[in-house]
Amino acid sequence: MINKSYSTTYLLTKPYDDSLQYGNDGKVTNNTKFAINNAIFNIKNSKIIGKQQDTFETMLFLPEGEGRQGEGGLRTKGYFKHSYNMVDGEWWIVDSDNNPVIPAPEDIQFKIKQYLTSTAQHQTHSTYLPLITVITVVYNGAKYLEETILSVINQTYPNVEYIIIDGGSTDGTIDIIKKYEDYIDYWVSEKDKGIYDAMNKGITLCFGEIVGIINSDDWYEKDAFDKVINSMNQNEGDIYYGNMTIISEKTKQELEKRYTNEKKLYFGMYLNHPSTFVKLKVYKKFDLFDAKNFKIAADYDLLLRNKINGSSFFLIDDCLAYMRDNGVSVKTMELTKMETEMVRKKNLSFIIYHFTKFIKFIRKTTK
């Protein structure tokens, strides 16, 4: 059920409408979809003009892949979302470098002010409203996908971009996605090379300053994004992470509160992927998930790389997400252990790797 008190579709604009054409279905035509050029927003041929050192380009739409079954969402109807900065008491849309470029329309000015005065926690002077992008990857996940979607679109934070990457499902997943198409910014269904390849596709589509990834078995606490934004406003960092609760698929009971500690990343995956949010600039700098070499632990690989290379981590000491005890890593514990060691060997120096291995051995034998 959609909570009408909140909406992740409040802050929509059609900034490229003068260069787009629409078909009878209300969607952008293919001959204009990849030909958007807008100097104000640093867009060339429907890609954001980035920095020379960026590891990938941000795209407005995905080129058609193998076995595409469908594509849709608000972007395909010409609607896009942005981050906003306040300039002289007025909210402005910012470009990919967070530079104010044009004033926000009056209706959006009103909606932002309405949100910022809606509860006591927001009644503080704010000059920045960043866009959060959330990605869900799914394949034949109809059983629980709707709960995941609702946990995103019912967030108390209004400036949310939602992207769903489906691997070509055959079980009704696409019907569920279409049911919420007016709340999803972009979705596509086509074959991929695994879960991290799908995540990489999603990241290349992100407009948000910070990115969360939630799988189709998991769901967010309703005010998770507000907590992330509050932490961002207080701490200038690269990666923000919180706690997570494990729920029994059979009994629906809480099994475990999983706390996190990035200082332990040298020893293993001590962050919860569903409750971790990474700045888009971090992906641009350190690249996407290593989908070629890892089936389970590419998220650990990416986070450990960031830890070693000096990215700043900030703890949000609260539950941000929930996970059922039926995830891929839960079902494949042996592969998870093997890939975890592969990640450590790949990224740690010989001395640090063996030192941490020794520490783990000591801790195990002295329990």
pLDDT single digits (tens) 23-39? 999 999 999 999 999 99
Residues 6+ apart with CB under 8 A from 298: 196, 289, 290, 291
pLDDT at position 123: 47
**pLDDT score of 4 more than 50:** yes
Among 307, 260, 306, which residue's Cα sits nearest to residue 283? 306
pTM over 0.85: yes
Residues 137-164 pLDDT 10s: 999 999 999 999 999 999 999 999 999 9
**Residue 253's pLDDT band (cuts 50, 70, 90):** confident
Taken in order of first residue, the domains within the chain and their CATH numbers are 17-347 (3.90.550.10)
Residue spans of beta strands (DSSP E) within 177-282: 186-189, 210-213, 218-220, 239-247, 254-258, 276-279
**Residue 367's pLDDT band (cuts 50, 70, 90):** low
**Residue 362's pLDDT band (cuts 50, 70, 90):** confident
Residues 64-102 pLDDT 10s: 999 999 999 999 999 999 999 999 999 999 999 999 999
Average per-residue pLDDT in the chain? 91
Residues 273-283 pLDDT 10s: 999 999 999 99
Overall average pLDDT of the 284-297 stretch:
94
Among 140, 137, 186, 124, which residue's Cα sits nearest to residue 165? 137
Residues 98-139 pLDDT 10s: 999 999 999 999 999 989 887 655 545 688 999 999 999 999
Please name the helix (run of DSSP H) or strand (run of DSSP E) that holds residue 44, with its range, or none: strand 43-44
Half-sphere CA count of 123, side-chain side, radius 13 A: 4
Higher pLDDT, 351 or 220: 220
Overall average pLDDT of the 11-17 stretch:
94
Plot region of 86 (φ>0 → left; ψ -120 to 50 → alpha; else → beta): beta
